[in-house]
């Protein structure tokens, strides 16, 4: 890669193995969703994330929505949502007809602050939808204690968290349900895609029906010796992952340990370069968690103009961006709340290139560019 080509913020790691897996699906003739490749991936992914069951979905947004549906969320309900996230999280609650109530975040790791959650509970609250921000799991022991105390369910938005752990337990196994994303910006990807995982067979079986228009997928009717004619009892959707995508995901799952190691080594180099630099703080990895480094986000000091800094870095061909969204500030949600920590970090975060293909030379270039762009 030439010195003048931009260093991109995120990039998938895909190649000949994925192409070969896709070719095999072409030969098999089953390109639609909920087929053999999906099944194989679901079994393997459930093992990876430490749950009994997994369902592949078209994306994480549909997995979140299906999860809320099978948990019985309905109009009038309130769901407490970690504020700092891509708004797919809050959108899923609105799509289910309920109201998202956003919880302010921990200033160090940006996941929902347990004290903030507890203060938001009302008689209408039905559950907690907690986000693993940039993939690092939130405080799930504390979330569980609050949920149990108030009779709420707990749902993990693990969109960015494949391969992360919390007290040695894998992300995905930390709540009643968890949703993952396989979008191109996440740690493992088929371009688009998602999964809903749980130990609870009833929830996943119900979601499986809803994700295929409200009936059992065709594969489960094959070879039964009879001519089962499905009946439609419930409004379902087509939220299936295709077998073409599942074949890609099967290869991505094999790559997961290497991809995590590559991201971790980039994070380590950034950390060493930036931890003593005035004007920016490096992201925190808590000692009881393994961060999957879906993103590497610096916090810019209040006296520095984050936007101007970002533009100076971009001018040098190094991509960078804000962190993620303070949901409560998005007009769609009615701007009804004041959450100072999330609002502050939304204005001060700076995401810099993080993916598994970064070369040492590119990491050097990012470090040099960011350091030089900081006001002296």
Ligand X SMILES: *Cc1c(COP(=O)(O)O)cnc(C)c1O
Asked if 60 touches ligand X (CB under 6 A), the answer is yes
Distance of CA 160 to the CA centre of its chain: 3
Euclidean distance between CA atoms 364 and 43, whole angstroms = 40
Specify the pairing of strand 289-290 against strand 165-166: antiparallel
Q: How far is the CB of 278 from ligand X (least distance, A)?
A: 30
- Phi and psi at 195, nearest 5°, equal -155, 150
Q: Give the one residue of 106, 183, 306, 328 binding ligand X; rule: CB under 6 A.
A: 183
Q: Give the one residue of 159, 241, 318, 320 binding ligand X; rule: CB under 6 A.
A: 159
Asked if 164 touches ligand X (CB under 6 A), the answer is no
- Binders of ligand X among residues 74 to 133 (CB under 6 A) are 85-86, 88-89, 131
Identify which of 126, 156, 161, 121 has the alpha carbon closest to the alpha carbon of residue 141.
156
Count of residues near ligand X by CB under 6 A:
14
Segment contacting ligand X by CB under 6 A, of 34-42, 153-161, 327-335, 336-344: 153-161
What residues pair up with 350 in beta bridges, in sequence order?
A: 298
Asked if 157 touches ligand X (CB under 6 A), the answer is yes
Token output for 180: 């993952």
Identify which of 342, 340, 337, 304 has the alpha carbon closest to the alpha carbon of residue 323.
342
Q: Give the one residue of 59, 125, 198, 369 binding ligand X; rule: CB under 6 A.
A: 59
Segment contacting ligand X by CB under 6 A, of 57-65, 251-259, 282-290, 334-342: 57-65
CA-based radius of gyration for the chain? 21
Asked if 55 touches ligand X (CB under 6 A), the answer is no
Which of 47, 186, 268, 335 does the annotation list as catalytic? 186
Dmax (CA) of the chain:
77
Q: Give the one residue of 163, 194, 292, 323 binding ligand X; rule: CB under 6 A.
A: 194
Euclidean distance between CA atoms 83 and 335, whole angstroms = 12
Euclidean distance between CA atoms 70 and 73, whole angstroms = 8
Q: How far is the CB of 160 from ligand X (least distance, A)?
A: 5
Note the residues at the interface with ligand X (CB under 6 A).
Answer: 59-61, 85-86, 88-89, 131, 157, 159-160, 181, 183, 194
Question: Catalytic site residues?
Answer: 186
């Amino acid at each position: 890669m030439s010195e003048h080509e931009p260093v991109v913020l995120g990039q998938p790691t895909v190649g000949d193995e994925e192409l070969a897996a896709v070719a095999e699906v072409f030969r098999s003739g089953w390109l639609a969703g909920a087929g053999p490749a999906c099944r194989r991936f679901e079994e393997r992914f459930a093992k990876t994330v430490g749950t009994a069951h997994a369902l592949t979905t078209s994306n994480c947004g549909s997995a979140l929505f299906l999860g809320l549906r099978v948990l019985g969320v309905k109009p009038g309900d309130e769901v407490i949502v970690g504020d700092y996230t891509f708004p797919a999280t809050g959108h899923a609650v609105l799509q289910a007809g309920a109201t998202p109530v956003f919880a302010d975040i921990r200033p160090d790791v940006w996941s929902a602050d347990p004290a903030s959650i507890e203060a938001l509970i009302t008689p209408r609250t039905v559950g907690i939808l907690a986000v693993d921000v940039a993939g690092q799991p939130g405080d799930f022991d504390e979330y569980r204690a609050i949920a149990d105390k108030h009779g709420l369910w707990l749902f993990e938005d693990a969109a960015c968290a494949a391969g992360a752990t919390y007290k040695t337990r894998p992300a995905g196994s930390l709540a009643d349900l968890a949703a993952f994303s396989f979008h191109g910006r996440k740690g493992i990807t088929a371009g688009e895609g998602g999964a809903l995982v749980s130990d609870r067979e009833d929830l996943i079986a119900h979601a499986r029906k809803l994700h295929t228009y409200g009936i059992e997928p065709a594969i489960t009717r094959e070879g039964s010796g009879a001519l089962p004619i499905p009946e439609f009892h419930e409004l379902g959707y087509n939220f299936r992952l295709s077998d073409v995508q599942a074949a890609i995901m099967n290869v991505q799952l094999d790559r997961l340990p290497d991809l995590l190691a590559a991201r971790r080594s980039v994070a380590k180099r950034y950390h060493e370069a930036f931890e003593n630099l005035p004007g920016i703080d490096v992201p925190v990895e808590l000692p009881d968690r393994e961060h999957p480094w879906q993103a590497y986000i610096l916090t810019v000091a209040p006296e520095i103009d984050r936007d101007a800094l970002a533009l100076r870095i971009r001018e040098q061909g190094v991509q960078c961006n804000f962190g993620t969204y303070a949901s409560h500030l998005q007009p769609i949600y009615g701007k009804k709340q004041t959450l100072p920590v999330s609002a502050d970090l939304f204005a001060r975060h700076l995401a810099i290139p993080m993916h598994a293909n970064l070369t040492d030379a590119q990491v050097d270039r990012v470090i040099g560019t960011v350091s030089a762009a900081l006001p002296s």
